[in-house]
Structure 1
């Protein structure tokens, strides 16, 4: 037996509700700055009602249900209600296009979709393209035409409690899609035990207490908001403060209003906050620390901590690993310019191409030891080949290059995988290339990430046109805008005669990046 035991999400919520029935669990601030509060008892009651709604709509244990929702109470209630009946939450990005959502709904074989009225146009063809999808229900809907689809109305009509369903800790509770390095996203299977493990690791790494309140401004469909913030708070019986969206100008004002004590950000939002006109009143918050991922400069880190009087604590994580395997220790004296040391329960190695451990100071791929379904994802949905490639003999291959120093501290070097990090979003270069290659005037193309002071990386594509074809940079970008999510659309397009390739036809991206750097020097 390990620290997880046999716990499940419903069991954990029930335990904390028994201990703290009248204690605030969720505070939610919508885009109009209106705050809604639910204590543990109220949240549990709503979860139970929504569980019954799902059962009445034919959702069974093991069924997949897609959530296409912004941050809010409905997302949280749906997550735990689905877990209560053994169903599987499939959370998605509200910026995803109709084509991208069709893929997720079809691939996941979702039987139900929960969204809001403003997103309905995306799903006009979903029923035809996804035979398993039976119905669409609407959150935050109070009108008459779709009253029979309104979560709120349906929950009001429920008269009985959801029956008890036998759950095991290693039952799958969610499937989070990650782009990976291929054009098609993979479904990462997350179990009840996975969620419990993440909460245990994260809460103990920063000594979270029942008096702490996690501030969630990052999207709830991300592992970050689920693993690091929500689960750590639930494990200790703390609370969470959720905003509908991130606002650089309002971040600390929201923290003050909702009395948050711990936050979580990416590097790009940190730089966006630093780009705001400083308001000294923003220092009147109670945030004792803010977790963050991805690289900020030492100067940016110093300025943020000096300006806002809170500590930034860097970590390393990914969707497939539950809890951050590396984090700057809470009690360390150093700055968070690296990604820290191994956290409780994790073992890590830095290895070469032959999976042999490299000595300190050398760059290699980070691999993380764990147990699938408990500290590591259970696997990729319907993709045993990808699962076996990623998890080998209990070691998860992250695809990220790091370096460990003589003291056992780790620093991030680059991404072994062909991934672009843009404002906290993972963007598959291959996915962009596939879309642009479908343009009738395009013969070949390649996408790369280029340095961006605000977004971490911007997206640039090099395009080879077919003979006698003429299109502009704006034409390519406009073509992408209707086929890709906003955060995947390239900012820059450059036309070239041919792409450098190896003898076996593989594009030499290092030469493409060198071409970009030389171009920057010439224009600098």
Structure 2
């Protein structure tokens, strides 16, 4: 089912601004509690100003622009504005270090980067050895920009509108860097059609309407916030409420203040909300839809629903599918702990290593039907081999294992990919291992995820030290901290004489996980 045709995000923004000009589209609350609001018409003007500003710098169709911003209006103005002129937005995790940013800037062929003052030094350090970036744009800073930088406010003050560039539905709108099984993240190419389908899918699967106020504190550089909040709200003419940061102690007050009716969470947020002292106001809210990803324990789900009077609706998605693949029916049987039924435009199969369907109830790889560049990613940028491996005969191979029951409900079992889930973030174990092996005295390293009662999994490193040198866990952690985003840095380090290996010399992580399980 293709509801998009040849439309692009520019068309959707214009349509909604014409239909709901005076209705509030975006509500933003910063860390200090200050609130900004924009109607659909005002939001469109800001996006057009951003588009004109980028165009005035010579940024053109097909150029990549990295966005290194926290949740803020400027993130969305830039994101939509880049797409408006046919350029490609490259949202970046604000926790990234200079080496990580260097990889993103280089692989994406970025010509410009937009950031705010807290991230300026990281960008400057990354650009010492990154070629091709012509413009450094500083947002959320009053006054003149420092030397070598362009002020975002001055850039968007350009009065000449951007030229009307032809933008096709299958033109790439953004590249999302996602954890993979290699030592470096890959760039997922998502088109305008991907984004539009994502908004349609998310709004339909979650049953939000133009009367809803959809709130998120998840980062806008993730497809979860983009799909389930930003695009879902835009698609139906609802209000998007964006918080700059998540604080469990303030969250329900913010829900009430902004009269939110729908919210998207990850398991870490469920757990930290449960960890707050119980209050008489726990059920004093208007939220009627609560969607989350990543399983919580049965006891946690039951306690959350009892305490807050709010049902948790489980779902499953990936960056490559622009989120929702399956979701528990809003108005039907949930069959917990299933991850729901396939979305209206999806088919899901469970297959063996040969791509053959396995019997009902048997575990196999979850694969998802889709059209590249429309309902699944267009591909991995500069990586045709990985693209061909992931997309085969109209099916996206997720690398995740699951099974289907007799009613067609899908259940998540485990991950084939060596990815650690930590507080809603995906961490590539091999990326952490590569950072560890940069240490002069680490001969071998293996990284696994171990259970964490709050953040899903903790990062544990097993290291083999050479040369008769003695190192401490703190030294290893400090070494990684200078090379990796904080959430990727191991919190547990175990020194070992050797690592278990297969007959062909491959590190046998299954044995490490088994030994870890036996130790608990």
Normalised-by-shorter TM-score class: over 0.9
Query: What's the secondary structure of 2:498's corresponding residue?
Result: coil
Say whether the 8 Å CA contact 1:111–1:134 is kept in structure 2. yes
Matched residue, 1:155: 156
With normalisation by structure 2, the TM-score equals: 0.98
Query: What's the secondary structure of 1:505's corresponding residue?
Result: coil
* Runs (5+) with no aligned partner, structure 2: none
Query: What's the secondary structure of 1:101's corresponding residue?
Result: helix
Q: Does 2:139 match 1:139?
A: yes
Shift of 1:490: 0.6
Query: What's the secondary structure of 1:10's corresponding residue?
Result: helix
Shift of 1:411: 1.3
Say whether the 8 Å CA contact 1:109–1:130 is kept in structure 2. no
Say whether the 8 Å CA contact 1:316–1:327 is kept in structure 2. yes
State the distance in 1 between where 2:180 and 2:339 align. Answer: 21
Shift of 1:236: 0.7
Matched residue, 2:53: 53
Answer with 276-285 or 84-93: which moved more.
276-285
Q: Does 2:91 match 1:80?
A: no
CA deviation vs aligned residue, 1:157-195 (integer Å, no higher than 9, x gap): x22222211111111100000021111111000100001
Matched residue, 1:278: 278
Matched residue, 1:493: 493
Query: What's the secondary structure of 2:260's corresponding residue?
Result: coil
Matched residue, 1:227: 227
Matched residue, 1:29: 29
Matched residue, 2:445: 445
Q: Does 2:1 match 1:8?
A: no
Shift of 1:336: 4.1
Matched residue, 1:313: 313
CA deviation vs aligned residue, 1:170-225 (integer Å, no higher than 9, x gap): 11100000021111111000100001101111111122111111112100000101
CA deviation vs aligned residue, 1:470-519 (integer Å, no higher than 9, x gap): 11111111111111110001111111111111111111111111111222
Say whether the 8 Å CA contact 2:199–2:231 is kept in structure 1. yes
Say whether the 8 Å CA contact 1:441–1:470 is kept in structure 2. no
State the distance in 2 between where 1:374 and 1:161 align. Answer: 29
Q: Which runs of 4+ in 1 moved over 3 A?
A: 125-128, 144-148, 333-336
Matched residue, 1:378: 378
Count matched residues. Answer: 519
Query: What's the secondary structure of 1:219's corresponding residue?
Result: coil
Q: Does 2:487 match 1:517?
A: no
State the distance in 2 between where 1:207 and 1:463 align. Answer: 49
Question: Where does 1:294-333 land on structure 2 (aligned, <5 Å)?
Answer: 294-333=294-333
Query: What's the secondary structure of 1:175's corresponding residue?
Result: strand
Answer with 192-201 or 298-307: which moved more.
298-307
State the distance in 2 between where 1:223 and 1:403 align. Answer: 25
State the distance in 2 between where 1:42 and 1:124 align. Answer: 33
Answer with 400-409 or 167-176: which moved more.
400-409
Say whether the 8 Å CA contact 1:253–1:282 is kept in structure 2. no
Q: Does 2:257 match 1:257?
A: yes
State the distance in 1 between where 2:335 and 2:364 align. Answer: 23
CA RMSD of aligned residues (A): 1.3
With normalisation by structure 1, the TM-score equals: 0.97
Shift of 1:335: 5.5
Matched residue, 1:391: 391
Say whether the 8 Å CA contact 1:312–1:336 is kept in structure 2. no
State the distance in 2 between where 1:261 and 1:321 align. Answer: 26
CA deviation vs aligned residue, 1:319-345 (integer Å, no higher than 9, x gap): 000341111111123454220111101
CA deviation vs aligned residue, 1:22-52 (integer Å, no higher than 9, x gap): 0000000000001000001111111111111
State the distance in 1 between where 2:215 and 2:156 align. Answer: 27
Q: Does 2:403 match 1:406?
A: no
Q: Does 2:211 match 1:211?
A: yes
* Runs (5+) with no aligned partner, structure 1: none
Matched residue, 1:186: 186
Say whether the 8 Å CA contact 1:500–1:508 is kept in structure 2. yes
CA deviation vs aligned residue, 1:214-243 (integer Å, no higher than 9, x gap): 112100000101122211111111110000
Matched residue, 2:118: 118
State the distance in 2 between where 1:268 and 1:337 align. Answer: 17
